[in-house]
Amino acid sequence: MRTALAANGWFATLWCGLSVLAVVAPNAFALPSFARQTGQACAACHVGGDWPQLTPWGRFFKLSGYTSGKPFADKDGLDHLPVGVFGQAGVTWAAQPDNRQGQPVVTPNGVFRGEQVVGYFGGKVADFAGVFYEYQYGNNYPGWSGATGVVDARAVQIFNPGDGELLVGVDLNNGPSNQDVWNTVPAWAYPFYGSPIAPGAPASTMLATVIGQSGGVGVYALWNRKWYAELSAYRVGTGFWRWATIGTAFGTAGGANYLAGYNPYWRLYYTDDSGPHNWMLGTFGMAASVYPNNLTPSGPTDRFTDYYVDSQYQYLVDEHQLTLRGTWYYERQKWNASYPQGLSSIPSGNLNGITVSGTYGWRNLWTFSAAYFQSNGSSNAALYAVTGPTGNVLSAAPNTTGYTLQANYLPTQNLKLQLQYAGFVKFNGLRSNIDGRGRSAADNNTLWLNLFLAL
């Protein structure tokens, strides 16, 4: 097994090599696999070239099964490489590095470290099918480990009834909303990336939690590129679905959530455009049954029903790109199995929240983003209790409010320099004295400088 020092040295060597390639091969050979397939620049699919934000064409490219352009191989041989790699390295400065969330930081504050290397396969495999598959190798502090990233495989067919266009598809993926094309869903919401050692909100919906922990199959339809409807079903990422969740810990204490049976996920939205303007209004959700103990996946289950409403607006011209996003969610929780076992302090509860964000891009060179988020939920001492020095409960609510500010610089379509500040106004139900020692929510704030390279 690699030591943290050896792994970091290995990453540095790889990073230097990739950086050289990005400089000396800025054209076809330096493009990600989908750009090689279509012959288009990254900005054709990604707003301002700033991945993973999608343009209208990028959204249709994904929904149509990644089938635009040439297959990577045909009877004449190999056309292009359908594989690629991207990596991240960065440094995080934490406001209170020794007491973040009441826990010590396991890496020195302000140290530049390798953070992630991702290998992927992405491309058209037939006129009706395409696939995107990632494997991530990340620095989880203090060590490196690997796991499957995004999985999205599609088969599609387009029909033309009357004067209309009907796209029908079948999709396999490893988490609800991984297959989505909007940057308002949990899998692709802003901030698109964050420091691996920065704290997150104490609670999230079950829909968001089982991304990467489950496997699913669904059918969808897109009518006249405006109306979209989808119905999918997800189950725990074991057995047949293990290929989609390699590296995820099931059947271990504190491991991934263990879904019971197949759990429905739905999606519906309407989108339209006028000149440089495009917008979307939609809803999605999931009903999930989860075993309270993943070591014993049998017996009664807890029940979670998640409802989301989301919207997005874009203004896209050559020099200026503006995207505004909003998402509201509500989760109804039934602790049918956890409450009798003392794993939940209440028999039922809820979690709700809102996120609004916006990004402005200039000349495919600079992007500036900001977001505000707020989550609230039922007090549950078994899940969210914050105790003081004498064991007194200071808060049992997951209520958290914060914001994110970010600036990106893209000197080439393969390289991104990112500076992000994440701040908290309330954390785990408290603004101050969040661990009984007088700390404030703002002591969880972080500043993250990151380099991102894609080939």
Q: What is the pTM of this model?
A: 0.89
Nearest Cα to Cα of residue 218 among 265, 276, 255: 265
Beta strands in 299-365 (DSSP E): 302-316, 320-334, 348-362
Query: Can you give the pLDDT at residue 22?
Result: 41
Do the Cβ atoms of 98 and 137 come closer than 8 Å? no
Helix runs in 184-258, H state only = 206-209
In this structure, of 17-31, 180-194, 397-411, 436-450, the range with the lowest mean pLDDT score is 17-31
Backbone angles phi, psi at 312, to 5 degrees: -145, 145
pLDDT tens-digit profile of 60-80?
999 999 988 888 877 777 877
pLDDT tens-digit profile of 101-135?
444 454 567 888 899 999 998 888 889 999 999 99
Residue 178 has pLDDT above 50, yes or no: yes
Report the CATH superfamily, name and number, of domain 4-454.
Porin (2.40.160.10)
Domain residue extents for the chain: 4-454
Query: Which residues, including other chains, have CB under 8 Å from residue 418's CB and lie 6 or more apart?
Result: 90, 193, 406, 407, 408, 409, 448, 449, 450, 451, 452
Backbone angles phi, psi at 34, to 5 degrees: -70, -35
Share of the chain above pLDDT 70, in %: 89
Question: Residue 83's beta-bridge partner residues?
Answer: 121
Query: Can you give the pLDDT at residue 39?
Result: 76
Number of Cβ within a 10 Å radius of residue 357 = 23
Cis peptide before 191 (omega within 30 of 0): yes
Beta strands in 275-426 (DSSP E): 277-291, 302-316, 320-334, 348-362, 366-377, 386-387, 393-395, 400-412, 415-426
Nearest Cα to Cα of residue 366 among 414, 325, 319: 319
